[in-house]
Structure 1
Amino acid sequence: MAVIPTPTTNGLDVVRHLRENCERPFEDAHSMPPAVYTSEAFLALERRDVFRSEWLCIGRASALANNGDYLTGTIDDQPIFVLRDANGELRAFSNVCLHRMSVLLEGRGNVRRIVCPYHAWNYTLDGALAGAPLMDRQAGFCKEHYKLPAVRCETWQGWIYVTLNADAPPVDAHLADLTKLIEPYGMSDYVETFHEEHVWDTNWKILAENFMESYHLPMLHRATVGPHSKLEEMECPPGLPAFNYHWITKEASLPIGNAHPANTRLQGHWRRTTALLAIYPTHLITLTPGYFWYLILQPQGVGRVHIRFGGGLAPEFIDDPKAADYMATLKTLLDEVNAEDRRGVEAVFRGVHAPLAKPGNLSPLERPNYDFARYLAARVGAT
């Protein structure tokens, strides 16, 4: 008769079990212990040791094309916004008013000033307080003493990254190895054509792991991309400290999956090779010779994850007369694939709560999952 294990609620106990699990060589690797996905205490350690210290992607720089364009997000519990200022530079700030601490901006948009929706305190695009109704009647008030706190903001390959860690190395240095790997694609020039936000009922790591491996494609996606996915076409090298990746080289089922005839950057097998990139902790990119799509994850508790979902085209396809048709076909397919993934990862989240749930051996195509587990084991609970 199976023995039902005692639940683990202490975050450091979960860390210990995870580290013990990661001591196995890859040939005997197992999936992560269930409590990694269900423990509130473990999530608290993740927030402290990962989300408050790492570079986090928040979106695509091409989405902020004009002065005053902005997008919002959070780093752990800290609301932030990124905007293009009056000089055309990208800047990030705390998204909290300096008066009564209301959140200032929501979603995406364009502003000439940042106006608090609560009492109309308003700020210039460089974060300085520009106006505050009636505050000139308060002797102790000095407008010049108020400026929104800046947040570190840098770009890499056309992506916007932010961090609360003043000591983190520049993001270009952090991802230098990945830059070399994907240089032939020229991802910096890919153009975002759609962006959406969703919330799914699963743990953020279950969704991240689902993206990292293509072992599930033939079965979970049997109604969409599964019939075009052959396990022998997938290559899963060992990951590096900041990311993992795998390659799929094949003739694409969509015209935009292979390189455009006008693309002279990619040669040989690169013209039909897709890179699947998992940049720790939460930036997931499918990069093909003709298009890209991505997920950016933000946990909302152990059982909910906020998802930024977007994608777009390589420059040669942007200039193609059929670009709109290509993108419409791709978006329809991605929506169907995402619906399948959602069913899959929400089912896993229900499963990891089961008293008899037990992690099994990983397949040869789940090397990225092994590397991700070792990344977490090295950081969570380390301080």
Structure 2
Amino acid sequence: MPKDHVDPIAALRDNTSVPFERARAMPTEVYTSQAFVDAELEHIFRKDWYCVGRSDSLVAPGDYISCELAGQPIVVLRDREGDLRSMSNVCLHRMSTLLHGRGNAKTIVCPYHAWTYNLDGKLRGAPAMTRNEGFCRDQYKLPQVRCEEWLGWVFVCLDPNAAPVAEQLSDVALMIAGYDMTNYSEAFYEEHVWDTNWKVLAENFMESYHLPVCHAGTIGGLSRLEDMICPPGGAAFNYHTILKDESLRIAMAHPTKNDRLEGDARRMTYLLALYPSLMITLTPGYFWYLSLHPKGPGQVHIRFGGGMSNDFADDPDTEENFAALKALLDDVNVEDRGCTEKVYRGLCSDAATPGHLSHLERPNYDFAQYLMAKIDAGRAS
């Protein structure tokens, strides 16, 4: 049967019915089909928590970041009371989007007709509206959107019934407690669009099987397959771990300020995939992350950021070491982009056939189970 006649949801259901020991990669249609993207947006991105970044990037009143979540323009900001707040980013007059990118705003001013809102979303002023007898300023307030902070991360959700982030990720919080992830500061933030499916990039993060080959020019030589541990994940996350070489000092626990970690944990890196699309590389010294959102089948919007544990803040060579790390991460991203865009081109081939998974791809199997469960639950409700 031609691939454009295959039901991608039925194909994934068949795929995920097989135990891990006999599992294959997901069917090509789940990456290339617009129908599957539509199902993801409806049953996953409109229902689950999406990360917009770190809370320490939103410190002062008026600091904001905008996003589009399942087609809905949203802004997250720090209000005048110091609370994080999320709301619709669409003017209530002629429906222009309001704030764009990241920045700071004393008020929210529509770029079309200058209707102006306070940081709590209430309409503050509207020019030339006095002659409309039905207009009442007090009746206008931007619709509020759920927003939660967890270990320094900021999440938004369109579903009022979704379980709180902290409840869904309680096992993760316990597992990485010694890292004190709230105590990390963001040092860089960028946004990118790559020509691949968002799940290809997510799965690329979830397995380190590709490191010795894809990253032969950067970190591949330091990545030993025998040091990678890939246990079964949970309902809302998966993870695997790698032991870092002690030559990268800022990946280690701080020698004097971190007495929370012991033994191999002092050099252990967690690669956390928090569903649906937040990918965090967490070392005792630094972190970096990707927050992904689909742009159709063949493109992904990427929020890319990172920083360091505050344990290292006063060390004299921290800035120099982190600059070197950021340069390395940029080179790694170039390699990942090349690999994941090649995978997507291959997936679009009529000859593409999913192969069996390695034991190092257990997180990919768990990710497929999550996708199928969320889509089935959404279609049943």
Q: For this structure pair, what is the TM-score category when the shorter chain's length is used for normalisation?
A: over 0.9
1:203 aligns with 2:197: yes
Instruction: Give matches, 1:197-346, under 5 Å.
Output: 197-262=191-256, 263-346=258-341
Contact between 2:244 and 2:251, CA under 8 Å: does it hold in 1?
Answer: no
Q: Distance in 2 between matches of 1:316 and 1:174?
A: 28
* Structure 1 Cα separation of the partners of residues 161 and 134 of structure 2: 35
Q: Which amino acid aligns with 1:284?
A: M
| Map of 1:171 onto structure 2 | 165
- Counterpart secondary structure, 1:59: strand
Size of the aligned set, in residue pairs, is 377
Q: Is 1:68–1:125's contact at 8 Å kept on the other side of the alignment?
A: yes
Query: What is the one-letter code of the residue matched to 2:365?
Result: Y
> Cα offset for 1:250?
3.5
Secondary structure of 2:265's partner? helix
Tell me which residue corresponds to 1:6: 2
Q: Is the 8 A contact 1:9 1:39 kept in 2?
A: no
Determine if the alignment matches structure 1 residue 185 to structure 2 residue 182. no
Give the TM-score normalised by the residue count of structure 1.
Answer: 0.97
Asked whether the 8 Å contact 1:9–1:41 carries over to 2, the reply is: no
CA contact (8 A) 2:148 2:155 kept: yes
> Which residue in 1 is equivalent to 2:370?
375
User: Shift of residue 9 of structure 1?
Assistant: 4.4
Q: Which segments of 5 or more consecutive residues in structure 2 lack a partner in the other structure?
A: none
| Corresponding position of 1:48 | 42
1:381 Cα deviation after fit: 4.2
Please show how residues 59-70 of structure 1 align to structure 2 within 5 Å.
59-70=53-64
Q: What SS is found at the alignment partner of 2:372?
A: helix
Counterpart secondary structure, 2:341: helix
- Residue 128 of structure 1 is matched in structure 2 by 122
User: Gaps (5+ residues) in structure 1?
Assistant: none
TM-aligned CA distance change 1:352 to 1:253, over 3 Å: farther
For the residue of structure 2 that corresponds to 1:45, the secondary structure is helix
Distance 1:252 1:37, change over 3 A: farther
Name the CA distance, whole Å, in 1 between partners of 2:106 and 2:325: 35
The residue identity in structure 2 corresponding to 1:6 is P
Q: What SS does the aligned partner of 1:380 have?
A: helix
Residues in 2 aligned to 1:232 and 1:250: alpha-carbon distance in whole angstroms: 13
Residue identity opposite 2:4 in structure 1: T
Tell whether the 8 Å contact from 1:283 to 1:297 is kept in structure 2 after alignment: yes
SS at match of 2:147: strand
Aligned to 1:112: 106
Matching residue within 101, 114, 133 for 1:139: 133
- Percent of aligned pairs with the same amino acid: 57
1:153, CA displacement in angstroms? 0.2
Question: In 2, are the aligned partners of 1:204 and 1:298 still within 8 Å (CA)?
Answer: yes
Question: Counterpart amino acid of 1:312?
Answer: G
* Larger mean Cα displacement after TM superposition, 141-150 or 251-260: 251-260
Deviations 1:151-202 (CA, angstroms, capped at 9, x unpaired): 0000111000110110111111111111111111000110000000100000
The one-character-per-residue Cα deviations of 1:110-166 (angstroms, maximum 9, x if unpaired) are: 111000000000000110000000112211100000000000000111000110110
> Could you say what the CA RMSD is over the residues aligned between the two structures, in angstroms?
1.0
Partner of residue 74 from structure 1, selected from 65, 68, 71: 68
- Any conservation in 1 of the 2:196–2:299 contact (CA below 8 Å)? yes
Residue number in structure 1 paired with 2:149: 155
How far off is 1:251 after superposition?
A: 2.4
In the alignment, the residues of structure 2 paired with residue 251 and residue 350 of structure 1 have an alpha-carbon distance, to the nearest angstrom, of 34
- How far apart, CA to CA, are the structure 1 residues paired with 2:288 and 2:325? 10
Q: CA deviation at 1:252?
A: 3.8
Cα displacement string for residues 260-316 of structure 1 (whole angstroms, at most 9, x for unaligned residues): 112222111110000000001110000001000000001111111110000000011
**CA shift in 2, pair 1:116/1:220, >3 Å:** same
Alignment partners' CA distance in 2, 1:121 and 1:30: 54
Deviation at 1:60, TM superposition (A): 0.3
